[in-house]
Amino acid sequence: MSQKKQETEPVNDPFFKEVGERLKALRIKAGYSNYEKFAIEHDIARSQYLRYEKGENFNMKTFVKILRALKVQPRDFFADIDI
């Protein structure tokens, strides 16, 4: 029996897209031009992290881990994002 791979549906919500763009910008600002290197150095699954940058729904535990790695407080992260 083969097990069907569970796929994550993209979230068609401008909020998540903006969150992903902000994550990418902060990663680059932190000196990581490559998302894979950032993910590996901070023990985050590369494919999972890439999905976050693309604006897909995310796991809060991993999101907090990313913010800590970027040394960004949640209030600062969301300061310029409209809900």
Task: Count the residues in the chain.
Answer: 83
The four Cα atoms 79, 73, 77, 83 give a dihedral, to 10 degrees, of -60
Give the helix/strand (H/E) hosting 16.
helix 14-29
Write down the pLDDT at residue 66: 95
- pLDDT surpassing 90 at residue 70: yes
> What pTM was computed for the model?
0.79
The CA distance from 56 to 48, in Å, is 9
The CA distance from 4 to 14, in Å, is 29
What digits encode the pLDDT tens for the residues 14-50? 889 999 999 999 999 999 999 999 999 999 999 999 9
CATH class of 14-74: mainly alpha
**Every domain of the chain and the residues it spans:** 14-74
